Structure 1
Amino acid sequence: MDGKVIYLMGPSGSGKDSLIDAAREPLGALGCQVMRRVITRSAESVGEEAVGVSPEEFLRRQDAGEFSLAWEANGLSYGIPVEMDERLKSGCHVLVNGSRAHLRLAMERYPTLVPILLTVRDEVLRERLLRRGRETPEQIDARLARNALFRDRRATDTPVHLIDNSGDLADAVKQLLDLIRLSAGPDRT
């Protein structure tokens, strides 16, 4: 495939959706399209531009081979439509809002995948999660602990590019675009 998968990961509350929204237009100028995920909950509750489906519909689509990538995380199912492979074959890069736990399998399927981890200082992440109000303080502590485990394991596991989104969103957008320019090759516009 001529295009590359840009695989963006990060803990809940790290600002992946905000980063993707802010970078959407300049990503297009780099020949990189954002893939819309299919998720087993309504798009309104996700906070991203996603297709919300029932668990039964998700399984039907998965069994029919309609996903290039699919995984489960936090009690939900996520899928990336097979249109991604068509875009890659045509030379487009694609950005996927992916899962840290699914990274290894995604890299097996797409060996030239560019893994990017969006990080946030723990105190900033805790504040964002508390402000969002979806989880109890205990659930937030568990999320922060999982995040620390992934951060520690990352050093000896698959190397990933890091973007710190603790501060100004424009800085994170610039870091993302610079990484794509360096990792994914020349513009394909």
Structure 2
Amino acid sequence: MQYDASGSPSTVGRLIFLVGPSGSGKDSLIDASRAKLTEHGIMIARRVITRSPEAQGEAAQGVSPEQFEQMRADGHFAMYWQANALAYGIPAQIDQWLQAGKHVLVNGSRAYLAQARRRYPDLLAIRLEVNPTVLRQRLLARGRETPQAIEQRLQRSAELQVTDADNVHVLDNSQALEQSVTSLFALLRAEGLLQA
């Protein structure tokens, strides 16, 4: 059960803001957890990204930069940011889900976390952490970028370490994905976000 600032039971859902460097396994964790999250009534936001629909990766909606800007101008996004030369948007529909009492999982951005907290003060921030050697191997294996671009990503990752550890729950995703799924659900249970 969630409670609001007055101590009364809250009927509004909670935003689960999952962050971590590119290649840390956010998409894999979401995909591996999807069925069980759905069973527990947790919604998963589908991101809009300025990446071609044919590109490998998450099941996002790929749009052109022009389409993205038009969607932004038309108020289609609850949140949006830029990272790694791409624009990312979270559909405004999440606000309807939250108001309806649904918890919502978002594949977010470490650089946008402070702004997301201002908009959703009660959000649950979760950071996936991966050993740098493992992260480099994963980025190379997916074949989306040149080795130079990967090194730039790794450098950016080091610079974007989230420092407010008291408000960010860390999950180590360096090992088996099943362990991360178990850790995720243990955290959600501890936070009271899973339906009985």
**Does the pair score TM above 0.5?**
yes
What displacement does 1:179 show? 1.4
What displacement does 1:128 show? 0.9
User: 2:92 matched to 1:85?
Assistant: no
Match of 2:69 among 55, 59, 77: 59
Correspondence for 1:187: 194
Partner Cα distance (1:21, 1:80) in 2: 17
SS in 1 for 2:54: helix
Correspondence for 2:5: none
Contact 1:39/1:50 (<8 A) preserved: yes
Correspondence for 1:147: 157
Unaligned ranges ≥5, structure 2: 1-10
The count of aligned residue pairs is 186
Correspondence for 1:171: 179
SS in 1 for 2:46: coil
Correspondence for 2:36: 26
What displacement does 1:186 show? 4.6
1:161 maps to amino acid: H
Correspondence for 2:12: 2
Structure 1 segments, 4+ long, off by >6 Å, are none
Partner Cα distance (2:172, 2:76) in 1: 33
What displacement does 1:156 show? 4.7
Task: List aligned pairs for 1:118-129, cutoff 5 A.
Answer: 118-129=128-139
Identical amino acids, percent of aligned pairs: 51
SS in 2 for 1:7: strand
Partner Cα distance (1:93, 1:106) in 2: 15
Q: Deviations over 1:22-73 (max 9, x none)?
A: 0001111222111001111123314111111111111111111111111111
Partner Cα distance (1:62, 1:46) in 2: 24
Partner Cα distance (1:120, 1:100) in 2: 14
Instruction: Give the direction of change, closer, same or farther, for the CA distance of 1:23–1:74 in structure 2 (3 Å limit).
Output: same
2:188 maps to amino acid: I
Q: Deviations over 1:90-111 (max 9, x none)?
A: 1110100011111100000000
Query: TM-score, normalised to structure 2's length?
Result: 0.88
SS in 2 for 1:42: coil
Partner Cα distance (1:170, 1:97) in 2: 19
Instruction: Give the direction of change, closer, same or farther, for the CA distance of 1:2–1:141 in structure 2 (3 Å limit).
Output: same
